[in-house]
Amino acid sequence: MHTWPTRVGSVLQMLDPAVGPRLILERLWHEVKTWNTIGGIWLQCRPGHLTPSGTFMVGAALDDAEEIAALATPATAPIQTDSLPVVARQLRDGNVPIATLMVSHTTSEDAASFLVDVLSRYCMDRLRVQLEVSELAEENQVLRGALSYDVKQHDILSNSGVMNSLIQSGVRAAASTATVLIQGETGTGKELLAKLIHSHSHRAHKPMVAINAGALSPSLLESELFGHTRGAFTGADHDRKGLFEVANGGTLFLDEVGEIGPEAQVRLLRVLQEKTITRVGDHTPLTVDVRIIAATHRDLAKDVAAGRFREDLFYRLNVVNLLVPPLRSRREDIPLLINHFLQKYNRANFKNVDEVPRGVLEMLINYPWPGNIRELENCVQKAVVLAPSTVFIDELIPPTIRTYTENLPREKRQQLADSGPAPVIDPVANLGQALERYADNAGPDVGKFFNQAEKILIIYALTKERGVKLRAAKALGINRVTLDRKLLEYHINVKRGQGVVSAAESEAAEAEAEDGPAHLTAV
């Protein structure tokens, strides 16, 4: 015969909040029906709270169960009925009723009260677990969106001196804790620069969370940034962390910060000043350690002068200012980007578009690209998808780009025509001056000079022909076999589509070659 302590232990072992109420009641009934005193157990979970909702019952059915349940109070108490006596309790989350429990019995009211109490604890534990799972799921979704590969300096493709200087400034800024404001036109790669800064900072092991402030309403933006408490507004059925809490210890990237409304600007300014946040609907400040990188395509200085943006917030954000140049200001990057996007979309679409005629390349280089890199990427993607062969033909280029040169104003065309050829520079005279400076520093050793000059000319030819060895060998006046031998002799690494690269980049290119990457070839 079971003693009361052993019965208590058996019941408590069954109450796993991760298991649904139906299975819990079935397991529990298997135990308590041997007590010969419990008539039945009735549990009603209201929708929107405990999951799954509905009515669950084991044992004998209660007559007029709904009417009896309506008499239940928040405390465990007996209710007299026409049939079996019942012990009932209404469960509440704050002031909100979420479930009702009833246990009928024959002779032992204490046993029924015990079951009501333990099942009440089970229901509240299950509600807590559900809220934790929901919160973790939301946080996991945010962090998954924030996951990205570490952006290194060579991951931002550029041959532009202005862009390389910007990258170096970003790397130097990464070592500090200063707030960074990145300005530039839409599609220039501001978020990629922000990821570069995060990857080189001491916060790289913590998450970088990004949010587009221009895509959310003011109230929703505040909830996303600072979180909210249960009951703060309609639909807020549980506490929720904001992105500042999720990014604690890491970086928060505020894209389109110029679109933030006045109220959110005030709260953001307080975060920058006090390093604390307050959830919507709460009054308890929470300390956060978050580095803010903001980006905008707007001229915030003009917005400050016009009264659309707070001056004090602007100066808080504008500690380190990085201006990303538009693509039309760095046309030397266009061939490099075209090759990159060709490889990317060839792999995605199982194509092999690797030949770009010179006329097409010049057409793409001359276009001003108002949509910047994003517009160029869309153009290349379309060409890869629609290309009937391995050639990037001009029919695949949008008409606005094809007709751009023809539609230039007459004054502009005349200006280009009247500009004339560039002044002729005597290469022999320049070479003589350079040789004199070389001899003064390194001596007039002909053999040593010949090796140095040969290496310089090979690197020059390969860089100019973007790694196409056959064309580089032709320009050098040697055959392809001789060029390959010279590359081994001088330890020169070449990547098709780029030119001379470092040894690390060459190894990465060989690894990618197994997947069949495409290469840019101008003919």
Q: Which domains does the chain have, with CATH numbers?
A: 4-135 (3.30.450.40), 148-325 (3.40.50.300), 328-418 (1.10.8.60), 427-513 (1.10.10.60)
Whole-angstrom distance, CA of residue 116 vs CA of residue 204: 51
The token pair that represents 246 in the structure block: 């999720």
- The helix/strand/coil state of 54 is strand
What length does the chain have?
Answer: 523
Helix/strand/coil (H/E/C) assignment for every residue in 465-479: CCCCHHHHHHHHCCC
Ranked by mean pLDDT, which of 8-12, 29-33, 379-383, 407-411 comes out on top?
Answer: 379-383
What letters, b where the CB count within 10 A reaches 16 and e where it falls short, cover 335-371? bbbbbbbbbbbbbeeebbbbbbeeebbebbeebebeb
517 confidence band (pLDDT: 50, 70, 90): very low
94 within 8 A of 105, measured Cβ to Cβ: no
Banded pLDDT at 312 (limits 50, 70, 90) = very high
| Dist CA 269 CA 312 (whole Å) | 8
Task: Return d(Cα 308, Cα 260) in angstroms, integer.
Answer: 10
Kindly state the tokens that stand for 460.
């020059």
DSSP conformational letter for 355: B
CA distances from 288 to 179, 275, 279, 282 (A): 15, 6, 12, 16
3-state DSSP assignment of residue 222: helix
**What are the pLDDT digits (tens) for 253-290?**
999 999 888 888 888 998 998 888 888 878 788 888 99
pLDDT of residue 470: 85
For residue 430, the Cα-to-chain-centroid distance in whole angstroms is: 51
Which element (helix H / strand E) includes 130? helix 109-146
- Tell me the percentage of the chain whose pLDDT exceeds 90: 18
Q: Report the 10 Å Cβ neighbour count for 430.
A: 10
pTM greater than 0.75? no
Amino acid at 18: A
| Percentage of the chain modeled with pLDDT above 70 | 85
